[in-house]
Amino acid sequence: MRKKMLKIVAVLLIFVSGMATTVLTETNRHFEILKNIEIFANVYREVNTNYVDEIDPGQFMRTGIDAMVGSLDPFTNYISESDIESYRFMTEGKYHGIGAVSAIHGDYVTITSIYKDQPADKAGLKVGDQIVAVDGASAKGKTMDEFNLIIKGYPGTSVDLTVKRPGESKNINITLVRGEVDVQNVPFHGMVTENVGYIALTVFTKDAGRNIKNAFKELKENNPDLDGLILDLRGNGGGLLREAVSICNIFIPKDELVVSTRGKVKDWDRSFKTMGEPFDLEIPLTVLINKNSASASEIVSGVMQDYDRGVLIGQRSYGKGLVQNTMDVGYNSKVKITTAKYYIPSQRCIQSVEYKDGEPVEIADDLRAKFTTRNGRTVLDGGGVKPDVLIDAPNKGVMKGLTEENLIFDFVTEYCLNIDSIKSIENYHFNDFNSFVNFLEDRDYKFEMDSEKLLKQLSKKAQEDGFALNGELSALENKMRGSKRQEVLKHEEEIVAMIEKEIATRFHYQEGQIRMGLRNDKEIKEAISLLNDRERYNKVLGK
């Protein structure tokens, strides 16, 4: 009896000791947090008070916060008051602004895309317009953050823009009334052949699931021969998790697991299943993805793969398997924190495990854990969703250089000065490639390929180390410059396709870009071929 009592006492002592250790550890953690907050505040105050030059307190603190959250992962971010509209667009598909996409070209912010029937479109802004002044104040040298801060505002308020338009000798004054900008998440759906339908989804904002279902329903009602569907998620960076679940529910049965989340706070772990009856369990499905398909796009494509419901075509996806929750931190600011990882039905997590310069590093297949689909096919974790049918990405060298230096954009801006419209997207063909080559020659082929960038780094390093390689490096530079023209000519077909898409965008907005792209699209052609070969389709899915 005594021995039994001693055992009970020993167990109780161990339990109490463990509890005390836990409480002590938690107390130490809270002390460390409070201590470091005090140190941080003291450093911030002393530097602001005593530093030799004037410091912008807001920018100084923003630098500290960005560095702090930036040490975690690329998706934990501080969202300041000026960033709220971008955050609102990702969650609602709406924002208060002008309805245009812009980027820095030279000294000025330049309009690169306009949303149809939105404020910028109604005011008469055009792609290629450079904003030289806002409300009378010069916009020269403004960063995108500075520009967005002054251009966005509440619906009904106006802003006066001074615009430098290509082909015009004088600047143009435009008064633009801001509005509630509503961006379509399904900008186009239609038939690509007599029996194959196509739906493009650009972002998982509010009602994405309903819009996909309605588009699919319309295709079925208007096309009795429909017996294959292409869902295009290329370039779709994700959005709302509930919309990903809703889209999966169109194609898979009720009560099937779509995704589960697991994090440090176990009470927040959740599983999401399909809630309603599916719309179509039978139609052969292909899903297009690429390296810019992320988050919710990877959930949908991964779920279709795990349940062997559709064939994935394209390139490996981005690899974002993290869940973020947003918390208010005062003064209309928020912090978006990674709180969990998500796992799709095969129980794999597609989160990339290594980053370089904020971008995922591709991990070799033999280093990734193996899982199986419902039909027993092997799938991998730890670095995006790998397509069932891999299609090589477009040539990175010359295409990347032309895009980064805005040369195709600038050429099309000049070219469209002589075109009033293109009536039929499907029948329009750009047949003047020589004019593009001449345009590049006038610009002295001023775009850099990766090899040239490496050569410049070598030249700089050689000089630092005291090596006299000027002659040899100059010869290499001249040889590379001479080969650029040959590279451009070699990739004429790809460049023409990009030019045609850019031209279609100028006259028919986002829908025009998508419709023009369908004509020259390798992934679309592969999807059509696969959907029309049912034996091959079933073999890929392991049926």
Mean pLDDT of 64-88: 69
> For position 285, what pLDDT does the model report?
98
pLDDT band, very low/low/confident/very high, at 13 (cuts 50, 70, 90): very low
Catalytic (active site) residue 271: no
Domains along the sequence of the chain with CATH: 94-181 (2.30.42.10), 188-393 (3.90.226.10), 397-447+491-523 (no CATH)
The C-alpha atoms of residue 182 and residue 447 are separated, in whole angstroms, by 36
> For position 155, what pLDDT does the model report?
83
Catalytic annotation, pick one of 129, 306, 381, 521: 306
The percentage of the chain sitting over the pLDDT mark of 70, rounded to a whole number, equals 85
Most confidently modeled of 91-95, 297-301, 510-514? 297-301
Mean pLDDT of 356-368: 77
> For position 195, what pLDDT does the model report?
97
Mean pLDDT of 321-326: 79
Higher local confidence (pLDDT), 364 or 448: 364
pLDDT band, very low/low/confident/very high, at 4 (cuts 50, 70, 90): low
> For position 472, what pLDDT does the model report?
66
**What's the farthest any 2 CA atoms get from each other in the chain?**
104
Exposed/middle/buried for residue 238 (C-beta within 10 Å: 0-12, 13-18, 19+): buried
In three-state secondary structure terms, 132 is strand
The C-alpha atoms of residue 185 and residue 460 are separated, in whole angstroms, by 46
Q: What is the pLDDT of residues 405-425, one digit of tens each?
A: 899 999 999 999 988 888 888
Catalytic annotation, pick one of 80, 102, 246, 295: 295
> For position 33, what pLDDT does the model report?
83
Q: Residue 68: is its pLDDT beyond 50?
A: yes
Q: Look over the chain and give the mean of its residue pLDDT values, rounded to a whole number.
A: 85
Catalytic annotation, pick one of 320, 336, 484, 501: 320
Q: What is the 3-state secondary structure (H, E, C) of 269-316?
A: CEEEECCCCCCCCCCCEEEEECCCCCCHHHHHHHHHHHCCCCEEEECC
Most confidently modeled of 58-62, 354-358, 433-437, 446-450? 433-437
Q: What is the pLDDT of residues 114-146, one digit of tens each?
A: 999 999 999 999 999 999 999 999 999 988 878
> For position 62, what pLDDT does the model report?
81
Question: Which sign, positive or negative, has the C-alpha torsion 374, 228, 233, 316?
Answer: positive
> For position 39, what pLDDT does the model report?
83
Q: What is the pLDDT of residues 182-213, one digit of tens each?
A: 788 999 999 999 999 999 999 999 999 999 99
Q: DSSP string spanning 455-521?
A: HHHHHHHHHHTT---HHHHHHHHHHHHHHHHHHHHHTHHHHHHHHHHHHHHHHHHHHHHHHHHHHT-
> For position 151, what pLDDT does the model report?
82
Q: Residue 515: is its pLDDT beyond 60?
A: yes
Catalytic (active site) residue 306: yes
Q: Which one, of 521, 496, 517, lies nearest residue 425 by Cα?
A: 517
pLDDT band, very low/low/confident/very high, at 12 (cuts 50, 70, 90): very low
The C-alpha atoms of residue 36 and residue 405 are separated, in whole angstroms, by 45
Q: How many residues does the chain have?
A: 543
What is the pTM for the complete model shown? 0.78
Mean pLDDT of 311-328: 87
Phi, psi of 478 (to 5 degrees): -65, -40
> For position 41, what pLDDT does the model report?
82
pLDDT band, very low/low/confident/very high, at 318 (cuts 50, 70, 90): very high
Q: What is the pLDDT of residues 245-260, one digit of tens each?
A: 999 999 999 999 999 9
> For position 25, what pLDDT does the model report?
67
Q: Residue 20: is its pLDDT beyond 90?
A: no
Q: Residue 21: is its pLDDT beyond 60?
A: no
For the CA atoms of 137, 138, 141, 147, the dihedral, rounded to the nearest 10 degrees, stands at: 40
383, 316 contact by CB (below 8 A): yes
> For position 333, what pLDDT does the model report?
79
Catalytic (active site) residue 295: yes
Q: Residue 466: is its pLDDT beyond 80?
A: no
Mean pLDDT of 30-47: 82
> For position 16, what pLDDT does the model report?
45
> For position 94, what pLDDT does the model report?
52
Q: Residue 95: is its pLDDT beyond 60?
A: no
Most confidently modeled of 64-73, 248-257, 258-267? 248-257
> For position 266, what pLDDT does the model report?
85
| Residue 334: both structure tokens together | 């928020």
Q: What is the pLDDT of residues 98-110, one digit of tens each?
A: 888 899 998 999 9
